[in-house]
Amino acid sequence: MKEQFKEQNFRPDSLKLIEACADIVNDYLNQGLRLTLRQLYYQLVTKNIIPNKERAYKNLSNMVSDARLAGMLDWDAIEDRIRVPAIPSEWDSIKDIVDSALYSYRLPRWKTQPEYIELWVEKDALAGVLRPLAIKYHIPLMVNRGYSSQSAMYEASKRFLRRQEEGKILRLLYLGDFDPSGEDNGSRHRRPDGNVRDCLDRG
């Protein structure tokens, strides 16, 4: 829903960028998906509309904020998945809570399968797109947000070891790149092909 809170005058180049943003978010809304600001930024970068630079991201953030306040972008199209209030569950009746439990009931589909699969993604921006897929196929989804932590890696190792002891074939599907946290100033090593790759030695 678009809702205007203030008048705003935009330059022609800004209006063109707002129009591009509206096309992208509306396309995702039509698929039943909502974007984060970071996801919108990456969409614009991949379409070569804006450069992949931190300044471009900050400028986009300010422009999107102004465009939403001016009633030019749908408020429901862009979401913040980090700042979410913890709202206690409530039901109007016992019947409602039973209906909710029935709706949530799911059989452990992978229990008798020969493989154990997890889906990992580097960037939180992709989680919203992948979460419906993970839910559909009952696959755990892990969002690393750059380098993973020691705690998360330890817990993951325990999960995989338990499944290995059950005789499962282990599969980890990972979506990311070779540079999970921007430029790495930590230790580096040279691969046999001569390229330098960052070492994942984080705690």
Q: Is 162 within a domain? A: yes
**16, pLDDT greater than 90:** yes
Which of residues 127 and 112 earns the better pLDDT score? 112
Do 123 and 59 have their domain in common?
no
Q: Is residue 48 part of a domain?
A: yes
Looking at the fold, whether 64 and 115 belong to one and the same domain comes out as no
- Split into its structural domains, the chain has a count of 2
Q: Is residue 95, in this structure, part of any structural domain at all?
A: no
Task: Evaluate if residue 185 carries a pLDDT over 80.
Answer: no
Mention every residue, 6+ apart, whose C-beta is less than 8 A from residue 10: 18, 63, 66, 67, 70
DSSP string, 63-132: HHHHHHHBT-S-GGGB--SSS---PPP--SSHHHHHHHHHHH----TTTTSSEEEEEEES-GGGHHHHHH
Instruction: Clarify whether residues 127 and 65 are in a common domain.
Output: no
Q: Kindly report, residue by residue over 151-179, the tens digit of the pLDDT.
A: 888 899 999 999 999 999 999 999 887 66
Residues in CB range of 137: below 8 A, 6 or more apart? none
More confident residue, 23 or 186: 23
Residue 179 tokens, joined: 């540079």
Q: What does pTM read for this prediction?
A: 0.61
Per the structure, the complete domain to which residue 150 belongs is given by: 107-198
CB proximity list for 124: less than 8 A, separation 6 or greater: 36, 38, 81, 82, 143, 145
